[in-house]
């Protein structure tokens, strides 16, 4: 105990001698809040998210020879080499819990920015609290299109939303039809929170605009114990394409129920979420050969941009998995926020917000197949080009758009 006290006294003396320099060193930490589900049905999403944020943190806080924001050199040069510290909070997939935890992060943990949240329904409340406290919020992986249309000044999203993702799907359908593939009828299948309902509304509008007929539009209760009645309806309709918007547990139940009831659609084109998750393919991947999902990320890009493969290897060492559509967006979310804080040279919310507004990162300086990261007046990056990925032989390959594709689409999907 005496030794400890002596060290403390010596430390205090040294600090007094150094004066303002030591005071500055003591504040050389930038605290960012990260809010995800770490318990409950979506806990694995939180675990994977934590690994992706820790990978980005490693790149920012240590020295790496990558062409990424803040990779070269240690910490944030704009704040004298300050290191970032992340504080993780568990929203349990509950919007009200998200509200309370965000308030705690801001008022008690003194975070200068917040990143989240996986579920779009939670992003609604988290972003409202951030707005109230004037703390910038990056919606790393939320895809509901309505999120950036609420007039919030502190809301930013670097990744695509479901209007962009769905447009890519319909562009793909149009291209396939030109080649002679029969795609006339669609079945929509979506869960009942903001993610599912926004996705379905977008797809209904696009179908109408592009001349496709939606012959069944089925909304089901999220985390439903049974989907037999719904799958029976899908089987009866037997559309050319099934378009699910489902989280992981619902997606697994959907695929199992389809197998039990003998429903084998020609094609499944999914709105990511559960359909980009390793857990779903571990459970029912044998029934999903040829499923197509939209995405933001393609590991195929590593062939053109070797850095992508190296960063993926760092993430894989931590998580045991490759980057997927969600974890790659989370990774980028922290890099974009850190880049803005660095340029703001401040942890003041308004200054960080101004720096986010001025963000302009070329696509080549990301791990994504995007043109760039630049926000419009609503905080949305419209240059985040989506890709379509097809699950073939146990891995995803990019099939659309043509400039990113490494393979032609297999259609119809394998009827196994």
Please give the model's pTM, rounded to 2 decimal places: 0.85
pLDDT in tens, 38-90: 999 899 999 999 999 999 999 999 999 999 999 999 999 999 999 999 999 99
Q: What is the spatial distance between Cα 219 and Cα 191, in angstroms, rounded to a whole number?
A: 6
Q: What is the mean pLDDT of residues 409-415?
A: 87
- Residue 347 scores a pLDDT above 70: yes
C-alpha torsion sign, points 136, 140, 145, 146:
negative
Residue 285: both structure tokens together:
């991947």
Q: Peptide bond preceding 140: is omega within 30 degrees of 0, i.e. cis?
A: no
Cβ–Cβ under 8 Å, residues 267 and 413: yes
Helix, strand, coil share (%) of the chain residues, nearest 5: 50, 20, 35
pLDDT in tens, 230-245: 999 999 999 999 999 9
Cβ–Cβ under 8 Å, residues 391 and 291: yes
Residue 375: both structure tokens together:
């926000």
pLDDT in tens, 261-305: 999 999 999 988 788 788 899 999 999 999 999 988 989 899 889
Helix (H) or strand (E) holding 387: strand 387-392
- Percent of the chain whose pLDDT exceeds 70: 93
Of residues 117, 121, 85, 118, the one with CA closest to residue 101: 117
Q: What is the dihedral of CA 160, 166, 170, 172, to 10 degrees?
A: 50
Domains and CATH numbers, the chain: 2-160+303-385 (3.40.50.2300), 163-295+388-400 (3.40.50.2300)
**Three-class secondary structure of residue 200 per DSSP:** helix
């Amino acid at each position: 105990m005496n030794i400890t006290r002596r060290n403390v006294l010596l430390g205090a003396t040294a600090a007094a001698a150094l004066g303002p320099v030591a005071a500055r060193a003591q504040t050389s930490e930038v605290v960012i809040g990260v809010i995800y589900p770490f318990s409950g049905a979506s806990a694995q999403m939180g675990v994977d998210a934590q690994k992706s944020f820790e990978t980005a943190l490693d790149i920012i806080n240590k020295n790496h020879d990558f062409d990424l924001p803040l990779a070269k050199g240690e910490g944030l040069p704009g704040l004298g080499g300050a290191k970032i510290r992340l504080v993780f909070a568990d929203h349990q997939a509950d919007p009200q819990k998200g509200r309370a935890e965000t308030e705690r992060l801001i008022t008690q943990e003194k975070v200068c920015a917040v990143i989240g949240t996986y579920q779009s329904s939670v992003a609604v409340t988290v972003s409202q609290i951030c707005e109230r406290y004037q703390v910038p919020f990056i919606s790393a992986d939320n895809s509901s299109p309505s999120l950036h249309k609420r007039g919030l000044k502190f809301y930013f999203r670097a990744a695509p939303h479901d209007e962009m993702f769905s447009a890519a799907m319909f562009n793909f359908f149009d291209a396939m039809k030109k080649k002679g593939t029969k795609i006339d009828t669609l079945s929509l299948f979506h869960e009942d929170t903001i993610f599912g309902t926004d996705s379905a509304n977008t797809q209904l509008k696009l179908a109408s605009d592009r001349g496709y007929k939606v012959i069944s539009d089925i909304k089901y209760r999220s985390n439903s114990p049974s989907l037999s009645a719904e799958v029976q309806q899908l089987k009866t309709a037997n559309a050319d394409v099934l378009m699910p918007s489902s989280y992981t547990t619902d997606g697994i139940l959907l695929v199992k129920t389809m197998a039990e009831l003998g429903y084998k659609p020609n094609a499944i084109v999914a709105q990511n979420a559960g359909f980009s998750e390793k857990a779903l393919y571990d459970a029912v991947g044998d029934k999903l050969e040829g499923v197509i999902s939209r995405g933001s990320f393609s590991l195929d890009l590593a062939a053109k941009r070797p850095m992508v493969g190296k960063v993926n290897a760092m993430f894989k060492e931590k998580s045991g998995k490759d980057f997927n559509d969600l974890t790659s967006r989370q990774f980028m979310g922290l890099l974009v926020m850190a880049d803005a804080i660095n340029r703001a040279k401040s942890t003041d919310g308004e200054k960080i917000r101004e720096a986010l507004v001025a963000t302009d990162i070329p696509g080549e300086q990301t791990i994504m197949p995007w043109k760039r990261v630049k926000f419009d007046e609503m905080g949305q990056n419209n240059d985040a080009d989506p890709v379509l990925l097809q699950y073939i032989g146990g891995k995803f390959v990019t099939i659309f758009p043509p400039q990113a594709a490494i393979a032609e689409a297999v259609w119809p999907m394998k009827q196994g």
